[in-house]
Chains A and B, each alone.
Chain A
Amino acid sequence: MSTARALGAVETESVALAYGADRAGFRRAVRRLVAARVPPDQVVWRMREPGEAEGAPAADLFGATATPDVGDEAGQTPALAVPRAAGEIADLVLCHHDTDRFARLYSLIWRIAQGERRLADNPADPLVHRLSLMAKSVRRDIHKMHAFVRFRALGVESGRERFIAWFEPEHFIVEAAAPFFRTRFPAMDWAILTPLGTVGWDGQALAFGPPAARPPLPEADGFEEGWLAYYASAFNPARANPVMMRTEMPRKYWANLPEARLIPALLESAPARVAAMIEREAQAPRKRDPAKAVAAMARQAPSSLAELNALIRATPAFVPGGTNAVLGEGPVGAALALVGEQPGDREDIEGRPFVGPAGQLLMKALAQAGLDRERLYLTNAVKHFKFAPRGKRRLHQTPTAGEVKHYRWWLDAELGFVRPRLVVALGATAALALSGEAVAVTTQRGPRPLGRHPGFVTLHPSYLLRLPDPVAQAQGFAALVADLRQARELAGA
């Protein structure tokens, strides 16, 4: 930046910025200009050519000599606080291809510095409006680059697939648009070449380069041919609307979109295709009605507990952790069904319900209540062990209400096959799964309908195991035994 006597008595500052969207250079220059109180009409802005050395002097129209904007260590110039809205506009507008972007932005910042602090928040101001349009154009160009870049495959090198694309943006947006591609394609190597700059990714870092000429691209592969076939098929000739298409996909992008070369033929043939569709009379079906198959599709529901269990076993868990489904156990037609929360560590390993510490306690209570495990149906609301790994241990996690509901359909179907006379919910999770609503177990123990079934709510044995006080534990155990005894009587078991 330099000052020179030009146009009579008016001093003109000339600023040359690096090629492209030189945010750092612009910021430095603005800080100094504002500090030096140079009004916008006394600054001449220029963008250097790609590759032009920073020091190269260049004469501007008015004969002022430009010196490069170098050597300004941050801190040498006073900080300039610009409101956020203005900063956001500036970041975008600096990418615009118009050289007058610098002057317009400087006018904005100048006015803000002169006291119009909220200027950028007034979209009705002509300058702000103009800059907003420029920002919008840049934003759209970035969006279109994200949308319209078309990669071609270069093969595989060191186990990584490599791709290359040629794209022609309107503005200096390569740097602004690049992070999107890094996030989206982290595991492939890719390069995007444009006449306004290039960017590449090798799995480690983005590398930016100078403007490029259109490179020889690899031949279209099978996927590109498939894409063309897809594009042609996705077009509905009865709805041709080329104006709408061009609004969203302007012609300037067509050269680098492989599918665009199909457009003229698709449009040309559309009226004839539609006329043929309308003229063609409705045809009688050539194939006979597949009556058997249509009837058969209604019989998709599992027809036995074994079929249902096969389904459950084949399905991935709805809860984090669990891998093996632990299925219900016991005879179909059992008078009494007991539903627990979910399998624990032991159950998950053995693949059977109620074989861990809580299960053993339950067996003790069953024995005292005069019930025989072999004659009961035992199952869980949630079929998988939900746990969080802690070192070598797998810590039980209570399933959420949503997770319990994922499993409800199975539990319902399961009990539909077993047809017990009474369903005992051991604890709150089972009660929720059966009834669809929250039940406070300690206060609502006893008989109550659970969904479609006559039910009975009692404690879960693992609750007793967690009680620290042995007296309370003994009381709780006695209550569980009493409940089970009552349930046995209700079920007539």
Chain B
Amino acid sequence: MDDTLRTKLGILADAAKYDASCASSGGRGRKAARDGIGSTTGAGICHSYTPDGRCVSLLKILLTNYCLFDCAYCINRRSSNVERARLSVDEVVRITLGFYKRNYIEGLFLSSGIIRSPDHTMEQMMLVARTLRQAHGFAGYIHLKAIPEASPWLVEQAGLWADRLSVNIELASDISLKALAPEKDAPGIKATMGQMQERMLEAKEERRRFAPAGQSTQMIVGADDTTDETVLRTSAGLYGGYGLKRVYYSAFSPIPEASRVLPVKAAPLRRENRLYQADWLLRFYGFTVEEITAGGSAGMLDLDIDPKLAWAPKHRERFPVDVNGADRELLLRVPGLGARAVDRILRARRQTRLTLDDIGRLSTGVKRARAFLITADHHPLKLTDRSDLRERLAPPARQLELFA
């Protein structure tokens, strides 16, 4: 790898880092032939962490950051003065394999600016994936960004080589998308998601490979005035309607070469964090969007406490919950108890009547949970009736955030 290639890699990694998705999970286990290379474990592996705390699992790069689109929130829009570079198909293949052999990465996450045409761009990206699979027997993880403006037959091909496909919905509101990304089209994005979902379901039923790790998407939060409620409604619609594996939320952060139509200030990272927690409640805890947003005010989540903790004091009639008798759904609603802790509680109570000490061994959130729980030796009568419950449970002092 020479200096020029390294410089290009730097530019194109920099250009790709605003995509929050990094997962190498969701697929089934797979391994290379004896003369090939690579495997996927199903759970995914983070090979490193950058100082922003985010995992480095895949080599996440753009094929090129030249782009004919002009999306205001994107550093690579055509009107930005950012430095540009372009990698050839062979260069991406070479870097991917070189990194993979040194155990730096789980695979490749390839996206691209739109050059010449969406079709041309999509074909180039596919060629990378196909070369890795066919010419090098690569069995590692490949995540391809599908370009919704490309012809539909190209999506049909992308799924043959990729583990995961994704189309970014970018903004929860179609109106904002029109204003900030003039070349993009919300119905087109959803049509592509629908097409991918249909093929994935068929392939699964017919036991063929077509993007076995499913599809994901990303939403930028804080670049417009969309509320958390709208964001979560959009997510719920995507999970329910298109079978998405993940929706990623990306708090808008200032980018170099920012557009004039964007806010100068970053959205608080905590907002992103709360949205992820709410997303989790939607998917794994049986909460509805209404229930989650009722914990906050004016369609926004409470930034100070997690959404489950925000919801509980407003539903005191449901508490306290008896850990030795309540069913799973009810236990999942207890602040401080995660899905794993609940499963451990269910296992343990088959053998013993659980005490507060027991809960301390089964969950790391017992401090928050105790106000809502009845155990063999504990009844939180007073706590649940207190009017200052929220204040007592909220963290005493807010940690200062960069740009808060």
Contacts and interface: CB of A to CB of B under 8 A. Distances in A.
Contacts of A231: 48, 50, 56
Interface stretch (A19-27, A40-48, A122-130, A334-342): A122-130
Interface string B349-393: 011101000110110000000000000000000000000000000
Interface string B20-37: 000000000001111111
B151 A227 contact: no
Interface in A270-285: 270-271, 274, 277-278, 280, 282-283, 285
A293 B354 CA distance: 69
Contact of B157 (A122, A185, A299, A315): A315
Contacts of B7: 229
A274 B402 contact: yes
Interface residues of A, number: 92
A184 B118 CA distance: 34
A208 interface: no
The secondary structure that dominates the A interface is helix
Contacts of B361: 123-124, 126, 129
A318 B118 contact: no
Nearest to B265: A278
Contacts of A263: 51
B206 A300 contact: no
A229 B198 contact: no
A443 interface: no
Contacts of B10: 229-230, 232-233
A277 B254 CA distance: 7
Contacts of B160: 316, 318
A400 B68 contact: no
Interface residues of B, number: 96
Q: Interface SS of chain B: helix, strand, loop or mixed? A: loop
B50 A245 contact: yes
A241 B208 contact: no
A417 interface: no
A163 B102 contact: yes
Contact of A226 (B1, B50, B157, B260): B1
A124 B343 CA distance: 12
B179 interface: no
Given A123-B361, A248-B55, A282-B258, A227 B99 contact: yes
Nearest to A133: B361
A233 B102 contact: no
Nearest to A241: B53
A406 interface: yes
Interchain residue pairs A-B with the least CB separation, the first 3: A244-B53, A402-B202, A222-B1
B78 A147 contact: no
B98 A118 contact: no
Given A283-B81, A289-B79, A400 B6 contact: no
B315 interface: no
Contact of A242 (B53, B153, B269): B53
